[in-house]
Amino acid sequence: MRLLHTMLRVGNLDRSIAFYTGLLGMKLLRREDYPEGKFTLAFVGYTDEQNGTVIELTHNWDTSAYTMGDAFGHLAIEVEDAYAACDAIRAQGGQVVREAGPMKHGTTVIAFVTDPDGYKIEFIQKKV
């Protein structure tokens, strides 16, 4: 068994693809429209689906926004430098909601940003 993908519902697919590819540096792996179901799926990731876990962005054509629930936590991405990653996100118009720094009860450097739909993404600085 292996983890294939995590699915996120998004209100504006092009905006979300731009965030994940432009700001986070992922690749658009595939995109497919389902006219009969009135939805589009787009898969983004740092590697192809055969070699890693990716994110499925689901856009239901008749829904422009979703209510953020309290059960989902966040996605986590390892970065070389969490401080620089926050600066890069901010410079491109992204939102940093927790500045880079050591976690409260430890030494791991983390930060949080949000995607256009409000999903939290944690940057975890790679340990050397």
Q: Which residue has the tokens 């690749």?
A: 27
Active site residue 36: no
96 falls within a domain: yes
| pTM of the complete model | 0.92
Q: Which of 28, 60, 92 is the last residue of a domain?
A: 60
pLDDT value for 128: 80
Q: What CATH number corresponds to the domain at position 120? A: 3.10.180.10
β partners of residue 84: none
Taking the C-alpha atoms of residue 52 and residue 57, their distance in angstroms, rounded to an integer, is: 16
| Domain hosting residue 24, numbered range | 5-60
- Alpha carbons 128 and 72: distance in angstroms, whole number: 30
Domain assignment present for residue 68? The answer is no
What's the number of domains the chain is made of? 2
**Mean pLDDT across 29-46:** 98
Which of the 8 DSSP states describes residue 18? Answer: H
- Select from 43, 67, 56, 62 the least CA-distant residue to 118: 67
CB atoms within 10 A of CB 80: 10
Of 110, 105, 103, give the one whose Cα is nearest residue 126: 110
37 and 11 within one domain: yes
Q: Among 56, 78, 99, 122, which one carries the catalytic annotation?
A: 122
Q: pLDDT, tens digit, for every residue of 59-70?
A: 999 999 999 888
Residue 127 one-letter amino acid: K
Q: What is the pLDDT of residues 70-107, one digit of tens each?
A: 889 999 999 999 999 999 999 999 999 999 999 999 99
More confident site: 69 or 14: 14
